[in-house]
Chain A
Amino acid sequence: MVNSILIKGGSISGGKKADVLIAHGLISEIAESINTSADQVIDAAGFILLPGFVDLHTHLREPGRENSETIATGSLAAARGGYVAVSAMANTLPVADNSAIVEQVAAIGKSVGLVDVFPIGAVTKNLEGRELADLGSMANSRAQVRVFSDDGNCVSDPLMMRRALEYVKQFDGVIAQHAQDPRLTEDAQMNEGIVASTLGLKGWPAVAEELIIARDILLANMVGARLHICHVTTAGGVEIIRWAKAQGMKVTAEVTPHHLLLTDELATSYDPIYKVNPPLRTQNDVDALRQGLVDGTIDIIGTDHAPHPVESKECEWQNAAFGMVGLETAFPILYTTLISTGRLSWERAIEVMSSNPAKIAGYQSHGRPLQVGEPAHIAIINPAGVLTVDRAQLASKSKNTPFHGMEFQGTVVATVFNGHLTHQGELRSGSHE
């Protein structure tokens, strides 16, 4: 059993180089040079130490869809991606709309022990949009749920949304909305635009997302509640959120790694590996999402890690499942697209990957700065490392990555969760003393 870890020579949060000693789950010392003996010593010269990542949008599929992912396999995938906390979306079978399910998910997560698994509760019973789920019971359960979402479905009834926003104020909850007007997206397959028109696939208009974002921002503002917008994908959505923040409204927003990188042109192959909800949009949208993340309009990266078995993707586009796995590739994509080019500072990267999601969800032991006395949740990054994505090598039980064969810079070489190494990749020296 490894009790103490000494990480030598890494750059702390992208700044000064220092040695970091971890003991009993906490950061016990940070100094220019530490020569105490430790159970494990990691040579982190050239590496960057960041606060461990927090995902606010993870589909772990358990209970009910263990053929796609389990809490164990999803936790391992998360650890490989530098994550120390994930938020298990409610659309399991049965749905996490009551305290029994959320407590079960949290308990399994704890027994796996690779990351903190925080269950998200459904907003409405069985995600059906007709009756509120047991929001208070879930909040008061041992899982202490604070984030509620019908993700996969939109809470489309404006009265239902208003009530949910109001109700969760009593325990400082937040509603994470999957913004998709259902009527405007019936049977929709991909972004509505010239590519969909040419391919003969039913279009998913940007406005179906934007009008729900606008509506919910106004509702949340009226009732003084916290609203989080899941996976923003359109330039118009970014603009609406920018406006709302300028008015001082309480809204936070998320973008996925895949929407920061991929466009609807990929659907030309008809390969459903590129089928995702919300859909891949245009380059103009990608540019707006990147700008929004850089300037603070968008608060966090959420993976929307959505595992699906092979047969759900090895078929015709319209019959395929929506979704992509993303935990193991999130940071390399962020590094390659925005950090390595200098557009996103390390400070901002820490916010979007760790401290902001922890703040939004109220995960108090997460997103903390790397300082003495703080919980030892650390992602160790090799900025020169190159990841060539190989779906066969993914820890996730499902292999539905759209990034297979792509090369990214900026790898997660190790993850420390609660003072324990939960992932160690290309470490140069792991000598025991």
Chain B
Amino acid sequence: MKHLLSINDIDKDFALTILDTAAEMAKVSEGPVKKLPTLRGKTVVNLFAEDSTRTRISFEAAAKRLSADVINFTAKGSSISKGESLKDTAQTLQALGADAVVIRHPASGAAHRLAQGKWINGTVINAGDGTHEHPSQALLDAYTIRKHLCGGRGDLSGLHIAIVGDILHSRVARSNVLLLTKLGANVTLVAPPTLLPHQVEQWPVKVSFDFNAVLPTVDAVIMLRIQQERMSDLYFPSEREYSTLFGIDSERLALTKPKSILMHPGPMNRGLEISAEAADSDKSVVVEQVANGVSIRMAILYLFIAGSQESVNG
């Protein structure tokens, strides 16, 4: 498997391999020397045509811990902001000898275009394309859930996970629906009907408009960022009303099981989809998600670039 464009590119076994590999990578990150020689001599380009500090830093840290050379190619001040086409950018990266391109792009399908345009030979890793997918985020979410609720082993069978908020525009939701259900979890989407994709009933999930009714049975709640411009696009009447119906606060959090966890891909709108008390509560694993993100991305880079699935400790 050459590219990671969508969760559909990986089967359940390989998803579990990525999670297992990430667990090994986490040990490296916790050790005194946070570095492996695995990708020495390889060049990883972070092509970020859309601002995203945390995902870029996460991939950069992951690549550096594997000893890869990292080139950051970001929107502001680059040729992308000057109207260079994706094709020309790709060919430039090809000429620079990129072994892998990690791409974040505002257009859905941009990673597919890069991988299938025959403009580039290297591996393409989708780090978020428009409102389509964000596979590494889903993998780090699955890793975090498994670590807390499954002892860090096996799949997610029997777990109930709620994804709450702007499903329609969320690449995190799309990748998570594919991955979490692939790993055996039951997923419920909680959102106002305006923020659910058309024909969502064909997805392998349940849908609820009643957040409180869902909370007592969930093991993990993934809150999605709500973008402020959605209000002017008539998706909901006011921030206040959205927050009241679909935000999580300490009272709602109290409705969940004692061992449940609260997640958010960041950046959070405190006071909108998540209250400060909820974000900072014992159930919140938001900060840990960031750390797990580096391990997951080390695993992805290792497995997709080195093309080897032997133990990293071997």
* A→B interface (CB under 8 Å): 189, 192-194, 196-203, 205, 269-271, 311, 314-319
Task: Return the CB mask of B195-216 against A: 1 if under 8 Å, else 0.
Answer: 0011110110000000000000
A319 to B84, CA, bound (A): 12
The 10 A-B pairs of least Cβ separation, nearest first, read A270-B109, A197-B197, A200-B132, A316-B107, A200-B131, A200-B108, A194-B199, A270-B112, A318-B107, A194-B202
A315 touches B113 (CB 8 A): yes
B85 touches A317 (CB 8 A): no
Nearest CB in chain B: distance from A61 CB, A: 21
B85 touches A311 (CB 8 A): yes
Closest residue of chain A to B114 (Cβ to Cβ) is A316
A315 touches B112 (CB 8 A): no
Output the residue of A199, A269, A314, A315 with the most chain B CB within 10 A.
A199
A248 to B57, CA, bound (A): 66
B86 touches A192 (CB 8 A): no
Nearest CB in chain A: distance from B271 CB, A: 27
* B→A interface (CB under 8 Å): 85-87, 105, 107-110, 112-113, 116-117, 129-133, 171, 174, 197-200, 202-203
B109 contact from A193, A194, A199, A311, Cβ within 8 A: A199
Q: Give every chain A residue within 8 A of B105 (Cβ-Cβ).
A: 316
B199 touches A316 (CB 8 A): no
Q: Give every chain B residue within 8 A of A205 (Cβ-Cβ).
A: 198
A203 to B87, CA, bound (A): 26
Closest residue of chain B to A191 (Cβ to Cβ) is B198
Q: Give every chain B residue within 8 A of A192 (Cβ-Cβ).
A: 198
B108 touches A315 (CB 8 A): no
A319 to B106, CA, bound (A): 11
Query: In the complex, given contacts A200-B129, A314-B85, what are 15 additional A-B residue pairs having Cβ atoms less than 8 angstroms apart?
Result: A189-B108, A197-B198, A198-B203, A200-B133, A269-B116, A270-B109, A270-B112, A270-B113, A315-B85, A315-B87, A316-B86, A316-B107, A316-B113, A317-B109, A319-B107
Closest residue of chain A to B49 (Cβ to Cβ) is A316
Nearest CB in chain B: distance from A13 CB, A: 45
A322 to B256, CA, bound (A): 48
A269 touches B85 (CB 8 A): no
A294 to B154, CA, bound (A): 56
Q: Give every chain B residue within 8 A of A269 (Cβ-Cβ).
A: 112, 116
Nearest CB in chain B: distance from A184 CB, A: 12
A192 to B131, CA, bound (A): 14
Closest residue of chain B to A201 (Cβ to Cβ) is B108
Q: Give every chain B residue within 8 A of A198 (Cβ-Cβ).
A: 174, 197, 203
Closest residue of chain A to B199 (Cβ to Cβ) is A194
Q: Give every chain A residue within 8 A of B199 (Cβ-Cβ).
A: 193-194, 197
Q: Give every chain A residue within 8 A of B86 (Cβ-Cβ).
A: 315-316
Nearest CB in chain B: distance from A72 CB, A: 29
A318 to B107, CA, bound (A): 6
A203 touches B198 (CB 8 A): yes
A318 to B105, CA, bound (A): 11
Nearest CB in chain A: distance from B182 CB, A: 14
Closest residue of chain B to A189 (Cβ to Cβ) is B108
Q: Give every chain A residue within 8 A of B171 (Cβ-Cβ).
A: 200
Output the residue of A189, A202, A205, A270 with the most chain B CB within 10 A.
A270
Closest residue of chain A to B87 (Cβ to Cβ) is A314
Nearest CB in chain A: distance from B47 CB, A: 13
A138 to B197, CA, bound (A): 45
A318 touches B116 (CB 8 A): no
Output the residue of A198, A200, A203, A205 with the most chain B CB within 10 A.
A200
B198 touches A316 (CB 8 A): no
A319 to B107, CA, bound (A): 8
A201 to B110, CA, bound (A): 12
Closest residue of chain B to A316 (Cβ to Cβ) is B107
